[in-house]
Amino acid sequence: MDKPPRPPSQRERVLDGLTAFGAAQSELLRLFARTKGMHVTDAAAVVQIIEHEDAGRPLTPARLAERIGLSPGATSILLARLETAGFIDRTREHTDRRIVTLRSTRAINEAADHFFEPLAKQLNAALAEFTAKDLDLLLSATDRLRALVEAYAMTQPEPTGHPTAVASQQLP
């Protein structure tokens, strides 16, 4: 006779909740991309550019490529597409004029604000229900878990070759 499945532990439920939160954020990004007629990778790039600008650390094309996992060539094509669409500008504001800085345009900022701001308000209201001590614990936990995931990712070997080529090499 089969045993009934054991209920997930509290830790498993927390990790499942964080995974589901990440998946919901990914789906939200896909929805934003569709509303703007963009590919999800283009939307991810725009969001990265805006977030880094807002933090006072604007991105270069090379750093964006790292953040979204594209080759330099693919990033260059993506940036040309975003610039043509009027979503970004490439500027040379550094003393070393070879360094390109990526800036979002007012139009894409307004579109992103219109799309994401209602949710940001709801999330802030939900977090306002927690005490400062609760928020410190949440912050500590999410920082530690993120650091562990990032450290684990750094230990993984880089795939070689084209993904389909690698997959086809594994087939019998």
Handedness of CA 11, 17, 22, 26 (dihedral sign): positive
Evaluate whether 53 touches 104 at the Cβ level (below 8 Å): yes
**pLDDT at 133 > cutoff 50:** yes
Q: How many CB atoms lie within 10 A of CB 66?
A: 14
pTM value?
0.79
Nearest residue to 86 (alpha-carbon basis) of 32, 38, 34, 30:
38
More confident residue, 165 or 33: 33
pLDDT over 70 for what percent of the chain?
Answer: 91
Helices (H), the chain: 10-35, 40-54, 61-68, 72-84, 106-128, 132-155, 163-170
The mean predicted confidence, pLDDT, of the chain is 90
Q: Does domain 11-152 have CATH number 1.10.10.10?
A: yes
pLDDT over 90 for what percent of the chain?
Answer: 78
**pLDDT at 169 > cutoff 50:** no
More confident residue, 157 or 133: 133
* Mean predicted confidence (pLDDT) in 87-95: 89
Evaluate whether 90 touches 83 at the Cβ level (below 8 Å): yes
- In angstroms, the first-to-last Cα distance of the chain is 37
Reported confidence tier of residue 88, pLDDT bands at 50, 70, 90: very high
Any idea where the domains of the chain sit in the sequence?
11-152
Q: pLDDT by residue (tens digit) across 27-76?
A: 999 999 999 999 999 999 999 999 999 999 999 999 999 999 999 999 99
- In angstroms, the Cα distances linking 133 to 14, 43, 124, 140 are 18, 35, 16, 11
